[in-house]
C-alpha cells in the first residue's frame, strides 16, 4: 500500500472548500405529505449501502430512527414489490427489481452528467488519468475514467471494475469517511483477501485516519510500481459515497504537484457542489 505524504497541508480548509456534497433536504424543507415515501426511500438506501453483507431490521431501525412496526411494514412492501430481498437469516438486501431498474441504463448517465465535465477539465488541466470511483457496499466501482493528453496513460483500472475498499487511491480516500467499527467489520468480512494484499486491520485503520486527517488520499506504488495518485472523497445525496482521483507517474508527483492536484480536484468538487445544491429544487 502506498503511504500518505509526510508533509502536511490542507488547501481545502484554507480555501473554505469541503468535499462533502449536499445531503437530502431536511424534513422541514421537504415536500409536505410525503413522509411515508421519504421513509421508504431512506430504508431502501440503507439496505443498498450494505451491499452483499445485508442488514437486519434492528439495525435499520437504529440507523433510520423509524419505529420498528413502521419499518417492518415498509420493508414488507418493498419485499413484495421485489425492491428488497429478505433471506432465511432475516437479512435485507437489494432485490431484483432495484437491480433491474438500474440495469436499464446503458451507462451511469446521471453520474456522468454531473461529474463528466469536471473530469474532462481535470484530465485536460493535469494531462493525467482521472477516475470516478463510487462505493458499492464493501467495494468501489469505477463509474468513469477520463484519459488526459499525457503520452503515458494509467490503465490499471477500467470502467466497470470493482475493488475492495482501501485499494486504489479512490478506495483509500473513501476510507476516511467510514467509522472505526465499520472499518473493522469490513476487514473481518474480507480478512482472507486483505491478507493476500498484506493489509491488516491496523493498517486499514491507519490509512483511514491519514485520509481523514489530510482530507484526501495520496498513494505511491499502490496498484502499479511507479504510479501514484491523489484522491478526494465526497458524499452525494444522503448515503452515496465516491471519490475523484488523479493517477500519474510517480516521478511527476513532487510535493508541489501533489499540492496542485489536491487544489484542482477540490475546486471541481466545489463547482459540482454548487450545481447540486440547486439542481432539484423547485423554482
Q: Is the pLDDT of residue 179 over 50?
A: yes
Q: How confident is the model at residue 238 (pLDDT cuts 50, 70, 90)?
A: low
pLDDT of residue 102: 61
Q: What is the pLDDT of residues 1-50, one digit of tens each?
A: 443 333 333 434 433 333 433 344 444 444 455 788 889 988 988 888 77
Radius of gyration of the chain (CA): 19
pLDDT of residue 2: 41
Q: How confident is the model at residue 273 (pLDDT cuts 50, 70, 90)?
A: low
Burial of 173 per CB tally in 10 Å (0-12, 13-18, 19+): buried
3-state helix, strand, coil in the chain (%, to 5): 50, 20, 35
Residue 190: what are its φ and ψ, rounded to 5°? -130, 35
Q: Is the pLDDT of residue 214 over 80?
A: yes
More confident of the two residues 51 and 134: 134
pLDDT of residue 239: 62
pLDDT of residue 130: 95
Average pLDDT, the chain: 80
What would you measure as the largest C-alpha separation in the chain, in angstroms? 59
pLDDT of residue 216: 92
- Write the Ramachandran bin of 224: left for phi over 0, alpha for psi from -120 to 50, otherwise beta: beta
Instruction: Enter the DSSP assignment of 128.
Output: S
96 vs 99: CA distance, rounded Å? 5
111 vs 113: CA distance, rounded Å? 5
Q: Is the pLDDT of residue 223 over 80?
A: no
Residue 145: what are its φ and ψ, rounded to 5°? -140, 135
71 vs 281: CA distance, rounded Å? 28
Residue 181: what are its φ and ψ, rounded to 5°? -65, -35
Q: 172, 166 in Cβ contact below 8 A?
A: yes
pLDDT of residue 120: 95
More confident of the two residues 49 and 61: 61
Q: Is the pLDDT of residue 218 over 80?
A: yes
pLDDT of residue 237: 64
Q: How confident is the model at residue 230 (pLDDT cuts 50, 70, 90)?
A: very high
Q: What is the pLDDT of residues 104-145, one digit of tens each?
A: 555 556 778 888 999 999 999 999 999 999 888 788 989 899
195 vs 30: CA distance, rounded Å? 46
Q: CB 183: neighbour CB atoms within 10 A? A: 19
More confident of the two residues 265 and 226: 265
Residue 105: what are its φ and ψ, rounded to 5°? -85, 130
Q: What is the mean pLDDT of residues 84-100?
A: 86
Q: Is the pLDDT of residue 58 over 80?
A: yes
Instruction: Count H helices and E strands in the chain, helices first.
Output: 11, 8
pLDDT of residue 21: 38
Helix, strand, or coil (residue 249): strand
Q: What is the mean pLDDT of residues 263-269?
A: 92
pLDDT of residue 41: 87
Amino acid at each position: 500500500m502506498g503511504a500518505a505524504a509526510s508533509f502536511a497541508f490542507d488547501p481545502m480548509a484554507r480555501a473554505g472548500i469541503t468535499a462533502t456534497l449536499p445531503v437530502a433536504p431536511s424534513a422541514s424543507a421537504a415536500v409536505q405529505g410525503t413522509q411515508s415515501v421519504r421513509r421508504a426511500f431512506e430504508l431502501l438506501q440503507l439496505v443498498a449501502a450494505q451491499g452483499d453483507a445485508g442488514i437486519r431490521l434492528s439495525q435499520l431501525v437504529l440507523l433510520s430512527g423509524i419505529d420498528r412496526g413502521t419499518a417492518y411494514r415498509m420493508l414488507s412492501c418493498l419485499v413484495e414489490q421485489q425492491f428488497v430481498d429478505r433471506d432465511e437469516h432475516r437479512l435485507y438486501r437489494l432485490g431484483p427489481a432495484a437491480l433491474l431498474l438500474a440495469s436499464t441504463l446503458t451507462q451511469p448517465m446521471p453520474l456522468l452528467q454531473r461529474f463528466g465535465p469536471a473530469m474532462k477539465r481535470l484530465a485536460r488541466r493535469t494531462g493525467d488519468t482521472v477516475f470516478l470511483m463510487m462505493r458499492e457496499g464493501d467495494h468501489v466501482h469505477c463509474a468513469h475514467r477520463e484519459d488526459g493528453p499525457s503520452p503515458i496513460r494509467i490503465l490499471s483500472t477500467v470502467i466497470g471494475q470493482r475493488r475492495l475498499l482501501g485499494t486504489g487511491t479512490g478506495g483509500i480516500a473513501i476510507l476516511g469517511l467510514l467509522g472505526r467499527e465499520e472499518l473493522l467489520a469490513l476487514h473481518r468480512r474480507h480478512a482472507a483477501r486483505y491478507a493476500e494484499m498484506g493489509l491488516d486491520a491496523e493498517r486499514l485503520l491507519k490509512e483511514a485516519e491519514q485520509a481523514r486527517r489530510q482530507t484526501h488520499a495520496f498513494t505511491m506504488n499502490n496498484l502499479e510500481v511507479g504510479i501514484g495518485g491523489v484522491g478526494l472523497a465526497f458524499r452525494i445525496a444522503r448515503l452515496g459515497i465516491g471519490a475523484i482521483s488523479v493517477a500519474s507517474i510517480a516521478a511527476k508527483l513532487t510535493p508541489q504537484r501533489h499540492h496542485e492536484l489536491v487544489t484542482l480536484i477540490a475546486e471541481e468538487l466545489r463547482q459540482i457542489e454548487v450545481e447540486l445544491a440547486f439542481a432539484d429544487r423547485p423554482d
